[in-house]
Structure 1
Amino acid sequence: MKEKNIGKTKIVGYSLAILSFVWAFLSFFLSKYSGLSNLNFILITVILVIATILSFMIDLKNSEINDLREDIKNNIVGLLSSYDRLAKFESDERYNKIFEKFVNFEKQVIGVQTYSYSLSSSSFKNKIKIEYQNGYTEENHDINAIIQSYYSFQKTDLKIVDKSLKKLIIFSDSSRAQEYFLSKISQVKNHSFIPKEEHLALLSIVEENLTKHLDISLEDDLYNVIGVKRPSSKKRLGIAKAILSFEFFQISTAYSFGYSGNSKDKDDRRYLTYIVESYTGEKKLYLIVYRIENSKNQNEVSDLEEHILFSFKNFLNNNNLIEKRLNISDQSEWGLDSIAKKIRSNF
């Protein structure tokens, strides 16, 4: 509305300027033939000139006001941006202090990271986007972070794996899971199938669940029989597998995996993830990095992870850092594993 008024002032100013110029030009001729005296013509001309000057002065002042308004607007935008950065900094500091306390409390834990993630879908694919938010690492340890990464999965593959895992976990029927796994690995051997990161993530999830529920080692019992080495990925897949296991296969909000790199210093590392969602719909994944003795068996590892996760949840709750757990009050009450236990208990 104010910009419209400034525009009107400019129009008036320009009109007065043109009118003054025309009047000054015509006054010379009109003074000879009209009844007005030269004094009247001069008076009218002076009034028009003064009005024109005042109009331009008002226009200049309005331009200054408009520039000042733009400066104020830009300063407000900058102030809000600074406030957002300050709020994020304070939030990160708060998380980091809590994470530091947790790491000092749990001696096996060497670091905690927070990631946000989002899901998107197209006609044939589902995509996961992961972004790093904050984290804390114990002194004298190196923990890499995924600043930002994308993972795409064919919907048909997700559907096949989902049905296979449900039959395996709920009904102890491994036929579909083994068929999917063996077919993909055989194709790799015959060079008819070059697995991408998305395929390796799905194969790894199927392998982990076959190993867990059939109590076999696929490294020895299947890979050697087929005569092919385990495919490796240049891209880190642990966090993506955690999100897949929860979002697409409904196995659990918690997921764990081991170190698969080439650094001997990290051979004793394991990673434990926990997924929550805020009331605004933002999904977060906490990555807990901890050390474990190689001599521990799988039951001891599971007990340790259960203890770490329970302790971590308490730290989040006690410091009001957890808003919503995706309607899951406790991991043990949800997921395919718990569903399977309930079904079997009824037989």
Structure 2
Amino acid sequence: MTKKPNNPKSEARASAGSGKQRVAEVSATSARQKGIQAEVERKDAKAMRGKTKDEEKPVQAGSRRQPENPLPRQHQPKPGHEHLLQPAPKFLAPDYRGSGKLEGKVALITGGDSGIGRAVAVLFAREGADVAIMYLSEHQDARDTRASIEDEGRRSLAISGDVRNPRFCEEAVAQVVEAFGRLDVLVNNAAFQEHSDSLEELSDAHLQETLQTNIAGYFHMARAALPHLQRGACIINTGSETGIFGNENLLDYSATKGAIHAFTKSLASQLLPRGIRVNAVAPGPVWTPLNPADRSAEEVAKFGQDCDMGRPAQPEEVSPAFVFLASPVMGSYVNGIVLPVMGGPRG
């Protein structure tokens, strides 16, 4: 069969027709997209005209209205004191109703004098646990926390010392067991945080203070507690969003929080055959003495404004996560997780 010769004129007409069709399609798509854009922009403009000043403020998703940025300018010397913070952190969670989730349990919380530790102590007590706290030297805050625990009708104990010291950790655990007869929940929460704007400026002393407090202290406490923890007990570590996302001005702190997350998962696997669960909570920015004892007054005024909710959390917004992980009723099948409480997926 003889192949017919090509017809250049016919091909040219087909090509021209195809080209015109593509131009028409492109033009139509461009016009359609501009129309969609114009419609969205009209809606945006209408929404902005209808917004009140309150709607433009940071997100208030809880049952209680929380302080907003800018926060009062303030700075504290370390280790930081909750009774000096303005506004005072909210830790009592008045809308939280206990239901005996930790009835008869004994909990030990490091860094329990203030901030997240204090809020956790209150809710643990409300759920029926006797609570011991460990702290460095914030004696007034520790007395206030003990009073709040006892207001919930539970026994309290406060022990001052340094978690960097393994011997102190062992003695503190022994003191708790002697006072209350058992130990069921260990919350590792004590932390040191001090910014450094460059790696070159991070001194050896600064680095070691962070490492020995934030990660070695967790090892010391877990090791001291383990001989007293029975099947059904648990360990909860306080991590951080910085352990997930990092922070350019908190290299050492972020590194320890990442290490805490890894420690949590590894220890969870090791202790599961013994019936002991290990989990962590990773908070975003929380209004506690930790940051005013680190950053300048100007920076503290803007603390938390870059997170999704546009404000720091209050300790009482984080503490229920610890109850969830501590409670055998709710957390019996939860092990080795890092639970983010960051006000959004990006913290």
TM-score range, shorter chain: under 0.3
Q: Which has more strand, going by share of residues?
A: 1
TM-score, normalisation: structure 2: 0.28
Which structure would you say has the larger RCO, counting Cα contacts within 8 Å and 6 or more residues apart?
A: 2
